[in-house]
Amino acid sequence: AYAPILERLSGELWDAVAAEFAQLNTRFPVSTSRGAWFLQVPIGHNRVHYEWLIQKTKRSMHVAVHWELHDREANFAMLEPIQARAAEIGRGVEYEFIAGPWGKHHARAAFVVPCEDFGSVGDIAPEAARVMDILIDRTWPILEPLLTKGTGNA
């Protein structure tokens, strides 16, 4: 299925997502730096962040937490408690929840939002913000103690 929203990626999408998210979540502000395919929500720890990431070939948006530490074992150690509670984290959310390796050394946990379900930036932005708010609410209590130990600052 064709996903027209992917053809209109620009600052417009990320500006709309950031504005919608700001209305829902005041715990973490959206980053002012962004790429064509991603927008991050920094959480105050080096190389660990929440992120909206367009997967163009899969025609989807990952609403995710990413671990991008240089230490593969540390990434997977922080992923493990998320994987263990994947059913609980995904409960009641209409999108697939995935948790596992991301590339060779990194890890990610994400809701996979199909872009073809949305015809405009105005349609997908509030949904992307809502799903991120859910992801943070359900994963931050698990992540915060792990990051406080210093693991996320490596």
- Between CA 61 and CA 58 the distance in angstroms is 9
In which residue are the tokens 């070939």 written? 57
Q: What is the pLDDT of residues 56-72, one digit of tens each?
A: 878 899 999 999 999 99
Query: Which of the four pLDDT bands, split at 50, 70 and 90, describes residue 4?
Result: low
Q: What is the pLDDT of residues 69-99, one digit of tens each?
A: 999 999 999 999 999 999 999 999 999 999 9
Q: Note the pLDDT of residue 59.
A: 85
- What is the residue-averaged pLDDT of the chain? 87
**Does the pLDDT value for residue 152 go beyond 50?**
no
Pairing of strands 38-45, 60-67: unpaired
**Does the pLDDT value for residue 6 go beyond 60?**
no
Q: What is the pLDDT of residues 14-25, one digit of tens each?
A: 999 999 999 997
Yes or no: say if 72 and 58 are a contact pair by the CB < 8 Å rule: no
